[in-house]
Structure 1
Amino acid sequence: MQTTLRNTFSTVFLRSALIASVCLAAAIGAQAQTAPPQPVTWELQVVRDGQQIDSFSATTNVGQARTDTHHDKVQNRVGCADQPAGNIDLQRTLTVSPTHASADDITLAIDAQETLQEESTRVSPSGCKLPPVPRQVSASHPGLVLKPGEWAQWQIVDSNPSLAYRVRASLGSSPAAQ
């Protein structure tokens, strides 16, 4: 009888604990659903060989991502007659996602795909100019931690050409723009 009473008491206690934890989880989930997402305003400058060549900016909520593509179509002079030709689309695609935001620090996940043009001039065996060969560069930073409002630099390519991203972010005050 005592064993049966103990088992019954244990079962009731475990069921009560389970019900309490389910209710607590539901309350926390409801609170998380009603809390507005934290917007982050960010800016990213693309710096090639020390000169800013492009920039991206947006306001994006924590947990969301923003992807933008910029194109820079260049025309090179090629051939023995040095004629305009050899068009290259220097495409740059960035995806920025705030993963954490507080008054102390902001963390951004950044994925980048770049098409770069080599600066060196190539020539054929007969001495005629050849178009530059485009170079694909991919980079990913899973968690660039920034102090709100302060610039940080992320070096993508060290040389030929040098390529870096200057990034800053702050807590946004308006709903995220997607």
Structure 2
Amino acid sequence: MAIKKPYFSLHEIALLSLCAALIVVLNSTFSLPIKIPGHTGIYWVVPVIIGVGIVKKPGAGTYIGFISGILATLFGFNTLHIFNLFIYLALGGIIDLVGLLFFYRLDHPAAGFIAGAAGNLAKMVVNFVLQTFLGIPAAFIIIGIGTASITHFIFGGLGGIIAALVLSRLLKAGVITRDKS
């Protein structure tokens, strides 16, 4: 009987899990003292984009989102608790899709900007949907969604550019290599 090869290697699982843990660590220890919606996207998206850019397989971002959502729920971040899982899954899943669209060339600043902005906007949308589901009046959410979407886009994009530059430097330094396919 043939042994089925796992989708992610042990090395990839370790790397993706470390990226997921880094999101939770950044979220708990690093805070900017500005009160602008979405400003945390400048550092939330970086580990996801770097993880997806290194592993280059569909599902890498979703795996990072799933693990970071579980960790955020276990450590009690945000007021949504178990629903954090959906927020982090949306972030990782959208960055997965953008990575696939750009053939995992997330080391380019434009691709990084789009991936970061899309991931941060997906996180915002899921957050608003969950808040509506939990009973917050839709009028309050609609009023706040305009400014929040612009700031989520900007900060997520800036985080994506940072991730692209870091990933590019890792490639140039030879820390990671691109496969020939």
More strand by share: 1
Structure number with the bigger relative contact order (C-alpha 8 A, sep ≥ 6) is 2
More helix by share: 2
Fold agreement, TM-score > 0.5: no
TM-score, normalised relative to structure 2? 0.30
TM-score, normalised relative to structure 1? 0.31
Larger radius of gyration: 1
